[in-house]
Structure 1
Amino acid sequence: MEHSEELQRYRYLASKWLDHTITEDELKEFNNWYTANLDAPLNIPGSFAATESVLEARILKKLNDKFGVVAESNRHKLHGGAKISWLVRIAVAASILIAMAAGLWFYQNRTIEAQLQIVTQTDIPPGKNTAMLTFSNGTVVQLSDARKAVFINQEKLKYNDGTVVGMGTEAKGIAASELITAATPKGGTYQVILSDGTHVWLNADSKLSFPSQFTGNSRTVTLSGEAYFEVAKNKAKPFVVNYGKSAVEVLGTHFNIMAYKDEAASKVTLLEGAVKVNSGAEKVVLKPGQQAEILEEKGAAIALNNDIDTEQVIAWKNGYFMFANEPVESIMRKISRWYDVTVVYEDNQQDKALWGTVSRFKNVSEVLRRLELTGVVRFKMENLNGKGKERRIIVMK
């Protein structure tokens, strides 16, 4: 494992420990890593602490001052009753608080009630599995939010559990030439398995248009929003994704496309295989770990980014928000789509950068608390009983 990947992995485990969601196997992995690195020198910024003992003293003082922590009385219990040692607690606190000193990490301990700016009588729940299918003949089908995926075939549409999708009087099969659009609203996500076996995960506020059956020499779909693709291999029929003024051509591979209209650039990130990105007169072939960024303001020019953290790119698919030196404005666009809220900036906080990981399946107040604990931003929530644009999150200093 590369150093950057290892660091990301153990930050992730630290976050799960703080969330009380770490499993026994993950706890063993984390403890083994900590034990193996007991004698390794810490990379401590000189402005933060001169020695490890000074660092530890600062950590304990910081925890007591900020959260009222008492070492022995606040040990966490894991699944099965196993205890985490205070040494590990110090190790986690050290990594998190060093990062917090640079405005990089979110910290929360559920056993300690931090005094935050968010005071609400109601809350906004996370998004869920919800989507709508629209057929070229005008039929509209609301997909079940009790399921997570729909299989497209010419006989009957079926959910991931094998049950048939109800289509009323129209439930009599789908024409081979039928054009179908799967759309998720803000606060929605869904999986679509196309007729060729290609598996597509749709993020919130996204649309995917595709034929009920792929005919001709290619398999062509159109995307707006964001989706992750695992394309079924077929050398005779390239798979083409059109989005905006650009297109991606593949034979069989795993990749993510982010193409929201409110983003300054669309991004194609490759995880496995190879893809060709076409944008105007420019073309580029990606290798795994590379990302093509299409800059609309510069005439759809393609910028190639290497060594991309693909785990961060597809965190949404795996149920997480994962931020790496990401501007607050970019973070809040993601939160706006997932929780279906309007974001307003009272002060110029858009360019502040944050790092961190948090589950997408927490209420919005939990996510905002994480952000507030960095000390970089504060939030006020209004009209939570409303819908969509009526519900507002105000970002403040």
Structure 2
Amino acid sequence: MLDDNELYSLLSACRQGTLDPSGRLKLELWADQAPENRVLLDLVTGDSEAAGQLKTLYSYDERRVWQNVRREAARRRRRRVFRAVIRTGAAAALLLGMVWSADRIYERYQQRDALVSVIEPGHTKAVLELSSGMKVALTDRAEQRITEADKTQIVVNPQSATFTQTAEPEKAAEPLINRIIVPKGGEYHLELSDGTKVWLNSESEIAFPTQFTGGTRTVELQGEAYFEVEADAAHPFVVRTDLLSVHVVGTSFNLMTYRDDPAVETTLITGSLKVVRDQAETLLEPGMQARLDKATNTLTTREVYAESYAAWARQMFVFFNEPISSICRKLARWYDVEIDASAPELDRMLYSGMIRRAEAFNKIAELLSATDELIFRERDGRIVVEKKKQ
């Protein structure tokens, strides 16, 4: 099993043509472990149609990978190329982009405005709260099996939790509700009793019945989650939040509903869904996003790079024309650090870029600083983002 650092080194050597036979064998064995691994290796070696498109995407000056997007023509070009690439495998394409570009940007600018402390990324951790109120830490724990009062079998380990409905469950007056709470600096994956898969992002919480009964499969979410819903046309899957609900059958989508964010965003990857707000319903097609603006209480739809909104579940940060304040909110949750990006002039600064979530915060700060427009400083245990004085 290759760790991230060794994989990154081997892929870089492969790209540069300096990979020895031993390293090539390691990559081949790694590629055989999963289809997405093979896609990535084919991209690096050029044995893929997407390889040429990726080279086009990263052919412009490396300083502009994290630079403000000012030219509409350049934005449209990146959009066309990225849309073509993303269809071949989002996770592979995004990681390869960093192999081609970020390593050289970082080396060039690593001495500029460096942070003193090394801020490590988040990792898998959460708390499972059973219907009895008992709490189980889902971190650094060997696999264990729990039986709920309705005979639901729960298998938990440091990476995920699986809920399995028994063949003859005991009837309960009310459905038993479990919760999984993910703190800042954490993430977790679970599989519900109907087979639906859920990835929870940092500072998120989901409440769900151990067994689904009735006409709908309903869960409640606060924070952010990526869902791959098991198809069941007779029993729609419903996600309820404080401000709206999402109704689906067999669908993959991302829902972001943090209390401190200015909007609730529902992004459809595959399938179909409807967003329900008060008495109004909005239907989405793949590649569309419904955005509820909290300040104006208006719900709008737009076309987006849908896969990029779910890239965090594949261990990537992806930003397209995103304000630095929004980027910093996401970074603060994942790295469990306070980031002050409240300066008014920062609201007008939009950035595009991509990087692995496994990287230290310092590397992202260096990439953003490489535009010569931002500086990250440590003050009283927090990070302050400022616009550089020209």
Query: Fold conserved (TM > 0.5)?
Result: yes
Contact 1:182 1:209 in 2 (8 A): yes
1:333 aligns with 2:301: no
1:381 is matched with 378
User: Unmatched 5+ residue regions in structure 2?
Assistant: 1-7, 16-39, 71-97, 163-169
- Distance (Å, rounded) in 1 between the aligned partners of 2:69 and 2:215: 51
The number of equivalent residue pairs is 314
The residue identity in structure 1 corresponding to 2:45 is K
Counterpart secondary structure, 2:60: helix
Contact 2:128 2:138 in 1 (8 A): yes
Structure 1 residue 124, shift from structure 2 partner:
1.5
1:110-189 equivalence runs, <5 A: 111-112=107-108, 114-120=110-116, 122-145=117-140, 154-159=151-156, 177-189=175-187
Structure 1 residue 162, shift from structure 2 partner:
11
Structure 1 residue 380, shift from structure 2 partner:
0.9
2:189 is matched with 191
Structure 1 residue 298, shift from structure 2 partner:
2.4
Residue number among 40, 56, 60 corresponding to 1:94 in the alignment = 60
- Distance (Å, rounded) in 1 between the aligned partners of 2:124 and 2:176: 24
Counterpart secondary structure, 1:349: helix
Deviating 4+ runs (over 6 angstroms): 30-37, 146-153, 160-165, 173-176
Moved more, 196-205 or 272-281: 272-281
The residue identity in structure 1 corresponding to 2:235 is K
- Distance (Å, rounded) in 2 between the aligned partners of 1:148 and 1:396: 45
Q: Which has the larger radius of gyration?
A: 1
Change (3 A) 1:349 1:163: closer
Q: TM-score, normalised by structure 2?
A: 0.71
- Distance (Å, rounded) in 2 between the aligned partners of 1:164 and 1:174: 23
User: Unmatched 5+ residue regions in structure 1?
Assistant: 1-15, 38-87, 166-172, 384-390
1:395 is matched with 385
Greater RCO structure (CA 8 Å; 6+ sep): 2
Structure 1 residue 145, shift from structure 2 partner:
4.3
Change (3 A) 1:148 1:330: farther
1:255 aligns with 2:253: yes
Deviations 1:8-33 (A, max 9, x none): xxxxxxxx89x949664222339987
Q: For the aligned residues, what is the CA RMSD?
A: 3.7
Q: TM-score, normalised by structure 1?
A: 0.69
- Distance (Å, rounded) in 1 between the aligned partners of 2:195 and 2:147: 9
Contact 1:129 1:147 in 2 (8 A): no
- Distance (Å, rounded) in 1 between the aligned partners of 2:186 and 2:378: 21
Structure with bigger helix share is 2
Structure 1 residue 164, shift from structure 2 partner:
9.3
- Distance (Å, rounded) in 1 between the aligned partners of 2:285 and 2:152: 37
2:45 is matched with 28
- Distance (Å, rounded) in 2 between the aligned partners of 1:162 and 1:373: 35
Structure 1 residue 94, shift from structure 2 partner:
3.3
- Distance (Å, rounded) in 2 between the aligned partners of 1:98 and 1:354: 10
1:280 aligns with 2:278: yes
